[in-house]
C-alpha cells in the first residue's frame, strides 16, 4: 500500500467519518495534498493509518483505559 492516495470520500469511509467532518481535521493532524485546479484533497494511506492509530483508545478487561 505504500504511496497509495485516497480521495476525501475514500478517506472518510476508511476512518468512519462524514466527508465534511474529515475536512475539519487540521492538516497538522492529518496531512493532505491539494490536486486539480479546484483543489481536491488526497490523503496518503500511511497518514490515514497513523491518524487512526493515534486516536485509538485501548481498555483492559476491567474497563480501565490504557495506552
**Domains of the chain in sequence order:** 5-66 (1.10.1660)
pLDDT band at 59 (very low <50, low <70, confident <90, very high): confident
Nearest to 41 by CA among 61, 12, 17, 3: 12
pLDDT band at 1 (very low <50, low <70, confident <90, very high): very low
The per-residue pLDDT of the chain, averaged, comes to 89
For 2-18, the pLDDT digits (tens) are 579 999 999 999 999 99
Nearest to 27 by CA among 44, 15, 5: 44
Pairing mode, if any, of strands 33-35 and 5-6?
Answer: unpaired
Q: What pLDDT was estimated at residue 8?
A: 97
- Whether residue 41 contacts residue 32, with contact meaning beta carbons closer than 8 Å, is answered with yes
Amino acid at each position: 500500500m505504500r504511496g497509495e492516495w485516497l480521495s476525501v470520500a475514500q478517506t472518510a469511509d476508511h476512518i468512519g467519518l462524514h466527508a465534511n467532518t474529515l475536512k475539519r481535521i487540521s492538516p497538522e493532524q492529518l496531512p493532505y495534498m491539494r490536486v486539480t485546479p479546484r483543489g481536491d484533497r488526497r490523503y496518503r494511506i500511511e497518514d490515514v493509518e497513523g491518524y487512526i492509530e493515534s486516536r485509538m483508545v485501548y481498555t483492559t478487561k476491567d474497563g480501565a483505559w490504557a495506552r
